[in-house]
């Protein structure tokens, strides 16, 4: 197969701009990617900066089904109409045209208590007024605890519940799944005609009891072999765009797990998420880290890729747990300063973004992502380190160096997607499958002897030839 040099094809190629598969029909009152009231038709991926935000509504933490609750704490009192409305108003204050996704667990969709009834009614108003998305969110980790068939069945049940209470033939454009298997994604595409899902949490490893490191961090069509693996061709292609849920600080993400939230510790999930930033560090330092992480994608990343994407999920219970002043103040600060620094930023739903990407790419052949970061200097985002990421259909590659010392670049991750991959067998609540990672040649977490960072010249000839087919300047 002829590979394209990144030097010749940065960002979206002409082939990548060919109109993709048709848009979904029942997605609310405007088409996938349309800007309401603009009359401009579908929004282009190229030349735009996007933010996708989901607010999660649940009844207990880590709630993967009606009866599978990993931490059985009743959060009814933590979810109020006032709290949810305050979050939506903070989001809209300096961003009146912004849209977001509401993610409900199955229990939150069915709970008949007053708070949840009021929240569902309010969300229907938001869907009508702002064109927000209303979606199903099975608590981050369904693939770790539930058999594939049960996840598929419950996704269909939840979609029908949403359609019934939103009305007017509404269906979500995307499912907020956390971790979803390849089988689940294929089911969404073929049985539910839904072609986008938050189905991977990029770089998560040894966090919240499990993980799934190994995927690209930007959208891709998954393989039938493994949800972290981009499809290599028509035979293993799943027509459901796989989306991440939180944009990470790449330097922090090299770590496994998290020690604590203090400046003296580390957290591999540091990035734009509120728990690891605003809650852990406060409004000042937390906001600096959020804006630093976004700049990776909206400044140099935008130049490299031709577009930028930041993705985030906030849990509604944070208003009660951490206080309205902190959480709503942080949400308003984040959205407002994002619009101030990058005025063209589009805050859209996960489903809209998935379909915009899908319209630009018919398969995985044309996308070719590149990112560079120098650490923020906060916590374990060390300001002497420079990381470069390259991601394409056949592999992902990360290079790290100390730019203060002008040290040579070392390979810290080389994950091949052209090799066979296999997911764990069906788990159960009694026998969960905690590790869904796709790890082969070299992994950034550096947990195996073979993961020791090394110069690219120490890779085998076949590996260097594979890399040179995309990025010849790296192997010179």
- For residues 372 and 445, give the distance between their C-alpha atoms in angstroms, rounded to a whole number: 18
pLDDT over 50 at 98, yes or no? yes
For the segment 404-435, what is each residue's pLDDT rounded down to a tens digit?
A: 999 999 999 999 999 999 999 999 999 999 99
What is 48-80 written as a DSSP string?
A: -EEEEEEEEE-SSTTB-SSS-BSS----GGG--
Q: Quick one: pLDDT at residue 13?
A: 33
Delineate the domains of the chain, giving CATH numbers in brackets.
19-360 (3.20.20.510), 369-475 (3.30.1120.110)
Q: Quick one: pLDDT at residue 41?
A: 59
- For residues 313 and 103, give the distance between their C-alpha atoms in angstroms, rounded to a whole number: 9
Q: What percent of the chain has pLDDT over 70?
A: 90
268 falls in which pLDDT band (50, 70, 90)? confident
For the segment 335-380, what is each residue's pLDDT rounded down to a tens digit?
A: 999 999 999 999 999 999 999 999 999 999 999 999 999 999 998 9
With a CB cutoff of 8 Å and minimum separation 6, the contacts of 474 are 390, 397, 399, 456, 467, 468
Mean pLDDT of the chain: 90
Residue 90 three-state SS: helix
Please indicate whether residue 81 or residue 11 has the higher confidence score (pLDDT): 81
Most confident of 27-41, 256-270, 443-457: 443-457
Please indicate whether residue 20 or residue 318 has the higher confidence score (pLDDT): 318
Indicate the helix (H) or strand (E) that contains 390: strand 385-391
What integer is the mean pLDDT of 192-205? 95
pTM above 0.85, yes or no: yes
What integer is the mean pLDDT of 79-102? 98
Please indicate whether residue 395 or residue 206 has the higher confidence score (pLDDT): 395
For the segment 374-408, what is each residue's pLDDT rounded down to a tens digit?
A: 999 998 999 999 999 999 999 999 999 999 999 99
Q: Quick one: pLDDT at residue 27?
A: 33
The C-alpha angle with vertex 207 and arms to 204 and 212, in degrees rounded to 5, equals 35
Query: Which residue in 160, 213, 155, 220 sits closest to 184, CA to CA?
Result: 155
Query: Which residue in 431, 437, 447, 442 sits closest to 179, CA to CA?
Result: 437
182-191 and 148-166 helices cross at what angle (nearest 10)?
A: 40
With a CB cutoff of 8 Å and minimum separation 6, the contacts of 435 are 210, 211, 212, 424
pLDDT over 90 at 51, yes or no? yes
pLDDT over 80 at 28, yes or no? no
Residue 277 DSSP symbol? I
- For residues 79 and 295, give the distance between their C-alpha atoms in angstroms, rounded to a whole number: 32
What integer is the mean pLDDT of 111-124? 98
Q: Quick one: pLDDT at residue 72?
A: 84
Contact 345, 26 (CB under 8 A): no
Q: Quick one: pLDDT at residue 47?
A: 97
């Amino acid at each position: 197969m002829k590979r394209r040099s990144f030097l010749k094809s940065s960002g979206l190629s002409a082939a990548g701009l060919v109109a993709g598969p048709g848009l979904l029909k029942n997605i609310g009152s405007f088409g996938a990617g349309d800007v309401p009231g603009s009359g401009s038709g579908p929004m282009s991926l190229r030349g735009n900066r996007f933010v996708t935000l989901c607010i999660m509504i649940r009844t207990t933490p880590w709630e993967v089904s009606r009866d599978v609750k990993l931490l059985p704490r009743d959060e009814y009192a933590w979810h109020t109409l006032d709290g949810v409305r305050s979050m939506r108003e903070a989001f809209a204050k300096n961003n009146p045209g912004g849209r977001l996704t509401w993610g409900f667990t199955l229990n939150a969709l069915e709970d008949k208590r007053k708070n949840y009834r009021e929240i569902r009614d309010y969300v229907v108003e938001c869907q009508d007024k702002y064109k927000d998305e209303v979606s199903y969110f099975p608590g981050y980790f369904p693939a770790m605890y539930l058999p594939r068939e049960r996840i598929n069945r419950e996704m269909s049940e939840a979609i029908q519940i949403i359609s019934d209470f939103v009305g007017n033939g509404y269906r979500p454009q995307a499912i907020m799944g956390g971790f979803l298997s390849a089988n689940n994604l294929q089911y969404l595409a073929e049985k539910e005609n839904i072609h986008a899902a938050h189905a991977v949490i990029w770089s998560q490893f040894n966090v919240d009891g499990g993980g799934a490191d190994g995927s690209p961090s930007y959208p891709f069509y998954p393989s039938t072999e493994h949800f972290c693996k981009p499809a290599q061709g028509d035979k293993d292609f799943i027509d459901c765009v796989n989306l991440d849920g939180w944009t990470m600080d790449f330097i922090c993400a090299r770590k496994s797990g998290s020690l604590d939230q203090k400046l003296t510790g580390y957290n591999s999930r540091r990035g734009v998420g509120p728990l690891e930033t605003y809650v852990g560090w406060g409004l000042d330092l937390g906001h600096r880290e959020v804006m630093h992480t976004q700049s990776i994608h909206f400044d140099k990343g935008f130049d490299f890729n031709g577009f930028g994407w930041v993705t985030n999920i906030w849990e509604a219970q944070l208003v009660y747990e951490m206080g309205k002043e902190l959480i709503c103040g942080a949400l308003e600060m984040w959205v407002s300063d994002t619009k101030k620094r990058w005025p063209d930023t589009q805050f859209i739903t996960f489903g809209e973004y998935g379909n915009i990407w899908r319209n630009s790419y018919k398969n995985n052949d044309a996308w070719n992502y590149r990112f560079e970061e120098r650490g923020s200097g906060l916590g374990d985002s060390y300001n002497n380190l420079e990381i470069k990421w390259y991601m394409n259909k056949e592999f992902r590659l990360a290079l790290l160096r100390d730019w203060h010392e002008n040290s040579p670049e070392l390979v810290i991750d080389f994950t091949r997607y052209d090799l066979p991959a296999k997911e764990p067998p069906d788990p159960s609540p009694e026998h969960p499958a905690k590790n869904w990672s796709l790890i082969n040649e070299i992994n950034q977490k550096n947990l195996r002897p073979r993961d020791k960072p090394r110069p690219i010249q120490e890779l085998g000839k076949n590996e260097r030839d594979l890399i040179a087919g995309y990025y010849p300047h790296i192997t010179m």
